[in-house]
Structure 1
Amino acid sequence: MASRIPIRRGPRTVGAENDQPTIRAKAAPARNGLAPAKPKAAPTAPVAYTKPKASTTTDAPGSAKRKREALREVTDRNRARVAASGTASTVGQKPPSTDGRKILGLPKKSVSTSSSSATRIIAKENAKPPAVAAAKALATVVERIEIDEEEGPSPKRQRTSSVGPDEAEVARIAIDVESDEEEEADPDGDDWEDLDAADADDPVMASEYVAEIQDYLREIEKTTMPNAKYMSSQPELNWTMRGLLIEWLIQVHTRFSLLPETLFLCVNLIDRFLTARTVSTNKVQLVGMACLLIAAKYEETVAPAIENYVFIADGATTADEMRTAEQHILRSLEWDLRYPNPMHYLRRISKADGYSPNTRTLGKYLAEISCVDHRLIGVPPSMLSAAAMWLARLALGQTAWTPTLAHYAGYRESALVPVANVMLRYLVQPIKHESFYKKYAGKRNMKVSVFMRQWVLGRWTEGAKIELTADLGALKREARNTQAAAGQGADDGDEPEAEAV
């Protein structure tokens, strides 16, 4: 029969139970001639993580709860270590703050702990290295994590979270570095999704001819490209006059409610005609109107009559002059009106993007920059559309250029960055073409010009010389952090705010 006499245990004192192990941060030894970094001021917007709360025990005599032996052993060990170092233990003493350090440009807090079992020291960098140097920086961080183990078993502190703060910090950096250095999608690879297979039974889509149509468009775009430097052969014209002409034609195009293909074809006809013929200043408006008339006849179901152009020109030309100019332009171009304008490719890429209206409307605005910016004259329409869609996805927080997108666009991400850089340099400048800006500032076009200008000026100063290659890594990290924050809000029960375009 078991005895009911309680076992007599050693006396407990209030001080012994309340004493918490004093954690002292061990200074990192200098490596490569570098002195240990001193604590800095706390960052303005640190990324907070949930820190496990330390458990406290009611230590009044006669309390019903008894302190566990393992915790008592850890306490005694730490008290002995502190006593040996000659420093008096203070109840509730906090470790020195290490706020203000950054790893790879991410504002985060780290905790440097020193115990009898292990010592972890994480050195943090203040600078934001580019994507290529990020892997080396991560390797340096990992190398400076020192673990000093003693012989024999040592007590372990119970972890209340699945991953410690230091391990989570290193894991987050590893994910960012891996994302920045992930292999580029190959347009000619085999890991893309066949989106045309779903249209095999739809005779309207004619999916069996898709590949041949795309090959034909790529073939004729090489023969319908104007000379990007034709202005040097125009003694009376300059690029500013061309911009003013296109801006006025955009107003006429909007007034007549014409298709986007009509405007792109009109601009292509103007550039091709100016490549072949010399035009005086007093005839350049007539050339623009005649090219718009030809493009409307080619693209529109119901094209405006010549009298409408004469009326909107307010006496600048007559109907006979319009007909004469139309014939002269067609003979100069040898009646070749073929032109695979960017809208053909834009709709094709939009299919791989899931037909997102925000992305396609923003991509159409970015592609139309080529009409007013002469620096994009020499860019093929297929590359122009791909760069516009890529930049639109980046502005909307979608950083992945998937193999399916690369296949349907026909270009790698690295080939699109220089074209997108020209578009950004146009957007960061003060507004030059008011009609073009106002056209996409209305509700019909989802105010994409307003959104894009705010997005650009929120990251660069007005008039800055943008180098997208150097800033691309930071832009992608920002987009991923925004997506992660939106996902965290959804996990917490909050509805993530939709991107307003």
Structure 2
Amino acid sequence: MAFRQPLSRYGQCNSYFVETQDDGVYAARAEERERARAIARMQQRALAEELSRMTAEEYQEDIMDHMEYMESQTLPDVNSIDIQTEIQWFMRPYLLDFLVEAHAAFQLLPETLFLAVNLLDRYCSRRVVYKRHYQLVGCAALLIAAKYGDKKDRVPTVRELKSMCCSLYDDEMFTQMEWHVLQTLNWIIGHPTVDAFLQVALAEGPFDPEVEHMSLYIAEIALFHKEFVSTRPSILARSSLALARCILSRNDHKVSEWAATYDPQTVMSLSNHLYQPSQVLSRKYSSMHLSNVSTTVDEFLQRQAQIARRAAAPPTPPASVGLEEPKSMSDAYGPQTPQKNHYSAAVLQHGCLTPPITPENEQFVAKSLPMAPTTYPTTPTPEHPANMHQAQYYHNTYIQPQPQY
């Protein structure tokens, strides 16, 4: 017996999945509702950002006062580090190279590196550190800094740090050193880093990633040098930003008085340390996602060296007004002697003629000139102002002894 499909009230239908013209209308309405929800989410996000900005501007002055107070309370003491018995300042760059590599390997935030170095220096200002434990203190400082302000999934584990140290320390030693660093610092971890002040200064102008990366590169170079250990992060951030804009030839935007203020002495000190940066740091900032700023700095220094070499070369004497162009190199760089048509006895009796000028009649020279004395008197200085200037230049350039480079 064959199966007979019952008739429905909608008429004959060969399938339960019926396509009608109304389906396009339903799909368009669903798409419109989804678009409206997306626009509402964007409006809510924009409103939240505007409210956050208004709140930040309202409390910005109080925030800056607290940051400047905290940076003065959490600065390390260079004099205390100087009296360490085993660790020396020449060991510091090697440890910082290790921390920079570990920081890049774990992809931590920039402020984590600055905070880790601050914790390391503050601990060395209060405790005697043995040479064999110096790297262990650096690892504990990096671990504390990552737990304090970085993303949870990027915080390094003790096993990973132990592997980077080639299993030089046991697992318990990392835990004990972490606890000892926190106890020594009285659990005061919060420190306004250079990156924090740099973000405040950069927020007042248009977004420029190259300037930001250049400023971070200069600030991280400063971590390797003793003279910047006790420098306030706010001063270091603004000085690094000013030097970065100078290197990149960026115009200063209209910013607040705080962001535009920098220390000229700090800027000069930073510029003097750009010539020999850490190789690890240079490789880190040679990548494209960091704007390749280390290569930009090298090219800038090469241009400055070429300008300095050209400035050190002896300048060309200015051309005299009303005189003809010199025909030989001796005329161009030697003292200019006035030309005379006739050589009277009054002129000849004071000495021989100044070379390379010779009278046209050689017989006149042979018959009229008396025998030249053994020592000739000094040639009179010409009275023309331009000639006097050239004579002085010749004397200073070719007569006086030159310094040996």
TM-score interval, smaller chain: 0.5 to 0.7
Whether 2:60 is the aligned partner of 1:210: answer yes
Question: 1:379: how far off?
Answer: 1.1
Partner of 1:266: 116
Counterpart residue identity of residue 274, structure 2: L
* Paired residue total: 260
Partner Cα distance (1:356, 1:313) in 2: 37
Partner Cα distance (2:166, 2:82) in 1: 31
Partner of 1:301: 151
- Shift of the 386–200 alpha-carbon distance from structure 1 to 2, 3 Å rule, reads farther
Partner of 1:36: none
Q: Deviations over 1:83-115 (max 9, x none)?
A: xxxxxxxxxxxxxxxxxxxxxxxxxxxxxxxxx
- Shift of the 447–201 alpha-carbon distance from structure 1 to 2, 3 Å rule, reads closer
Partner of 1:345: 197
Partner of 1:81: none
Q: Deviations over 1:54-87 (max 9, x none)?
A: xxxxxxxxxxxxxxxxxxxxxxxxxxxxxxxxxx
- Shift of the 406–457 alpha-carbon distance from structure 1 to 2, 3 Å rule, reads farther
Question: 1:337: how far off?
Answer: 0.4
8 Å contact kept, 1:424–1:456? no
Partner of 2:297: 452
Counterpart residue identity of residue 459, structure 1: Q
Counterpart residue identity of residue 295, structure 1: A
Q: Secondary structure at the match of 1:221?
A: helix
Whether 2:199 is the aligned partner of 1:325: answer no
Q: Deviations over 1:316-346 (max 9, x none)?
A: 1111000000111111100000100011111
Whether 2:259 is the aligned partner of 1:419: answer no
| Residue in structure 2 matching 1:227, options 65, 77, 84 | 77
Whether 2:142 is the aligned partner of 1:292: answer yes
- Shift of the 199–380 alpha-carbon distance from structure 1 to 2, 3 Å rule, reads farther
- The more displaced of 382-391 and 203-212 is 203-212
- Shift of the 223–351 alpha-carbon distance from structure 1 to 2, 3 Å rule, reads same
Partner Cα distance (1:201, 1:253) in 2: 31
Question: 1:251: how far off?
Answer: 0.5
Partner of 2:284: 439
Correspondence list, 1:45-444, <5 A = 202-205=50-53, 206-207=55-56, 208-302=58-152, 303-398=155-250, 400=252, 404-409=254-259, 412=261, 415-428=262-275, 430-431=276-277, 433-444=278-289
Partner of 2:386: none
Q: Secondary structure at the match of 1:459?
A: helix
Q: Percent identity?
A: 28
Partner Cα distance (1:325, 1:297) in 2: 15
Counterpart residue identity of residue 237, structure 1: I
Counterpart residue identity of residue 127, structure 2: R
RMSD: 2.4
For structure 2, the 5+ residue unaligned runs are 1-45, 310-405
Partner Cα distance (1:425, 1:223) in 2: 28
Partner Cα distance (2:79, 2:300) in 1: 32
Counterpart residue identity of residue 330, structure 1: L
Which of the pair is proportionally richer in helix?
Answer: 2
Counterpart residue identity of residue 51, structure 2: P
Partner Cα distance (1:324, 1:242) in 2: 22
Q: Secondary structure at the match of 1:427?
A: coil
Partner Cα distance (2:83, 2:159) in 1: 33
Partner Cα distance (1:232, 1:450) in 2: 34
Structure number with larger C-alpha Rg:
2
- Shift of the 224–315 alpha-carbon distance from structure 1 to 2, 3 Å rule, reads same
Partner Cα distance (1:396, 1:253) in 2: 26
- The more displaced of 257-266 and 449-458 is 449-458
Name the TM-score, length of structure 1 as normaliser: 0.49
For structure 1, the 5+ residue unaligned runs are 1-197, 465-501
- Shift of the 279–393 alpha-carbon distance from structure 1 to 2, 3 Å rule, reads same
Partner of 2:397: none
8 Å contact kept, 2:210–2:290? no
Question: 1:229: how far off?
Answer: 2.9
Partner Cα distance (1:299, 1:264) in 2: 11
Q: Deviations over 1:351-404 (max 9, x none)?
A: 22312111111111111122212221121011111001101111111354x5x4
Partner Cα distance (1:232, 1:218) in 2: 26
8 Å contact kept, 1:265–1:341? yes
Partner Cα distance (1:421, 1:324) in 2: 41
Partner Cα distance (1:242, 1:405) in 2: 36
Question: 1:214: how far off?
Answer: 1.2
8 Å contact kept, 1:237–1:280? yes
Question: 1:312: how far off?
Answer: 1.6
Partner Cα distance (1:204, 1:239) in 2: 44
8 Å contact kept, 1:390–1:416? no
- Shift of the 201–316 alpha-carbon distance from structure 1 to 2, 3 Å rule, reads closer
Q: Secondary structure at the match of 2:230?
A: coil
Partner Cα distance (1:395, 1:199) in 2: 38
Q: Secondary structure at the match of 2:77?
A: coil
Partner Cα distance (1:232, 1:373) in 2: 13
Q: Secondary structure at the match of 2:203?
A: helix
Partner of 1:108: none
Counterpart residue identity of residue 417, structure 1: P
- Shift of the 327–200 alpha-carbon distance from structure 1 to 2, 3 Å rule, reads closer
- The more displaced of 357-366 and 230-239 is 230-239
Q: Secondary structure at the match of 2:128?
A: coil
